[in-house]
Amino acid sequence: MAIDLPPVLPPVLADQAQVEALQSNSGQPIIESVADTPLKIFGNRHLSEEDVRTIVSGAATPSDAIISLTRRYYESGNLLMKVHYIRSIDAILVFVDQLTLTEVKGDPQAAAHFRDLEGDNDLTISEFDRERVLADLQATRAGYEYSISYEEGANNNVAMVFNRSDKADAKLTEFVVEANNKGSRFLGRYFGLAGVNHSFKDGTKVAAAYQTAFTDLGESRDGEELNQYSLSVDKPFTTGLYGVDLGYIEYERKLKVNSQNSTSGAGLTDLLGDLPLLGDVCGLLGLCGGTGNPESLGLDAEITQFALRGEQVLFSTPWQRITLNQRLELVDSTIEVQGASDKLLEEEYQVAELGAKYSRTSYQDQDSAPSQFSASLKLRAGFGDGGTLDDYPAFRAAYQAQFPGEPVPEVVAQARTAEFIALRPEANYQLKVADNLAWVSTAKAQFADEQVPQQQQFILGGMDTLSAYLPGILVGDEGYFADTRLESRYTWNDFIVVPSVFVEYGGAWYNNAGSPQGDEQTIGDAGLRLKVNYKSFLYTEIVAARPVYDDVADDDRLDDLEADFYWRIRATF
């Protein structure tokens, strides 16, 4: 950490004047003997009498008892506890005093985060650590390290001084290059990414990246071209971490259409996937130049996303943390048939998000193994209208007029709404079960009250969820996913190798729809994963999984989207 917790105030020998002043204000002492020497402890405030007696009686010498008592106050979460001691004729007198933090001094950038602690006469670890989290992030990005010292004054006052130094191996700019076959819900299987991250001395971080699909390498999923740009800027302030995200995607697809083979309209569940009914609907909406059933359709798509986000630390210790986060996002997503003036999909809306996260770290002790747990919950509310959103009545009337007697597709772009409420819970747990062996489990879900816009749907498949299949194997307004794995960790020279075996299970379904789209579709798989790190320069990952269970309406789609294995390699320099 660039900024650690403040050090323990060491016990000091008191002089006679201090003893008289302390003894007059300390009340009755706790008396306990160690090595046949009585210790009289005055001024205890934060520990129980039983704790004090246990600490003192368990020490080998009086000096050990005083040091252990000082350490216990610190470990119990009470900072700036000053212990004075002096030997009298028949005992050792120990005086415990709580100092008041009157001033924060030193480097202005770090000190600014702790100004609100000035005047605190009962400073705790949780109060300090809550401010330390953002200060540490800012210092790490700026390439600084800090040591903390004290300047003691009269009347139990103390100043905390932040002393800055430059971190020797700090790297403010990183370049990233990656190649992978992770696939995409949109198109393609093979991708390349190039990005740059730069941190400024005030803690501001800028990250920019460009990604493209190599559609000529096969398995393009009808893709012709992909250009994806992202830009993120954020900065730690004394009140929280605040930032801006901007993303832009454009891609082209050349879809083969076979409307004669479709009776259920299932293809309309994902306008970026298999579209057996697209020819009919395209002609119905007058977007295909008068051709009702074309053999192929060229699609141009654009997705623009802009977001403001913030995160605050509500509570923090070295063992637990609670954070609050907010996000306000604007989304503009369109798909149009090449050569047509109108849009097949047009979704422009806003999403407000409020979330909270709790994390806990347990360290090794006599009774339990080390573990980590985190849980988060996000509430998302959408608003906006226009385009193809909330236009299902008009779509249904036009469809029935064009295809009398045919069932009207229920999961289409026109059935989606921007006026939705969604909950997104997520939990992660990691437990050390043996040397170099850990058990890791994760779970996440989405629950919504309506058919949500395309960019808000719950998507499964790909390298990280249901790895036996390509991204988009399961799509819905609602869904869930869980996995559990055993992973080992080995270090050899500058290499870190992490093999694991895992099992995954997930499901998804659409709202306001009958069978089969409204039914829960579920898939399970199992596989192996291997991660390799070489210093901080090279990272590679390989994943191979095979199906073990499925309950879906379209078995042919499972075969079409089954993946052999995934890989990625990333260089950072």
> What is the full DSSP assignment across 309-371?
EEEEEEEE-SSEEEEEEEEEEEEEEEEEETT-SS-SEEEEEEEEEEEEEEEEEE---SS---E
What does the DSSP 8-state code read for residue 119? T
Query: Is 265's pLDDT higher than 70?
Result: no
Average pLDDT over the chain reads 90
Q: How many residues does the chain have?
A: 573
d(CA 206, CA 232): 6
For residue 284, name the pLDDT band (cuts at 50, 70, 90): low
The verdict on residue 319 lying in a domain is: no
pLDDT for the residue numbered 367: 76
d(CA 262, CA 44): 79
The verdict on residue 2 lying in a domain is: yes
Quick: pLDDT tens for 309-356: 999 999 999 999 999 999 999 999 999 988 877 788 999 999 999 999
Question: Looking at 267-271, 358-362, 383-387, which range is the least confident one?
Answer: 267-271
Tell which residue, 119, 134, 219, has the closest CA to residue 470: 219
The verdict on residue 381 lying in a domain is: no
A 10 A CB-CB count for 385 gives 12
Instruction: Extract the tokens encoding 175.
Output: 């370049």
Tell which residue, 318, 197, 274, 156, has the closest CA to residue 559: 274
Q: Whole domain around residue 3: which residue ranges?
A: 1-165
CA torsion sign, 57 to 60 to 62 to 68?
A: negative
Tell which residue, 503, 498, 488, has the closest CA to residue 546: 503
Quick: pLDDT tens for 455-489: 999 999 999 999 999 999 999 999 999 999 999 99
pLDDT for the residue numbered 366: 74
Query: Is 14's pLDDT higher than 90?
Result: no
For residue 259, name the pLDDT band (cuts at 50, 70, 90): very low
Question: Looking at 45-59, 68-82, 271-285, 429-443, which range is the least confident one?
Answer: 271-285
d(CA 97, CA 535): 47
Backbone angles phi, psi at 119, to 5 degrees: 90, -5
Choose between 219 and 189: higher pLDDT. 189
pLDDT for the residue numbered 215: 86
The verdict on residue 6 lying in a domain is: yes
Query: Is 280's pLDDT higher than 60?
Result: no
The verdict on residue 475 lying in a domain is: no
The verdict on residue 121 lying in a domain is: yes
Q: For the residues 497-521, what does the mean pLDDT come to?
A: 95
The verdict on residue 38 lying in a domain is: yes
Q: Which residues pair with 148 in a beta bridge?
A: 162
Query: Is 276's pLDDT higher than 50?
Result: no
For residue 89, name the pLDDT band (cuts at 50, 70, 90): confident
Instruction: Reduce the DSSP state of residue 6 to 3 states and report it.
Output: coil
Quick: pLDDT tens for 159-194: 999 999 999 889 999 999 999 999 887 788 899 999
pTM for this one? 0.90
Q: For the residues 135-141, what does the mean pLDDT come to?
A: 98
For residue 514, name the pLDDT band (cuts at 50, 70, 90): confident
The verdict on residue 337 lying in a domain is: no
- Total domains in the chain come to 1
Query: Is 289's pLDDT higher than 50?
Result: no
Q: For the residues 135-162, what does the mean pLDDT come to?
A: 96
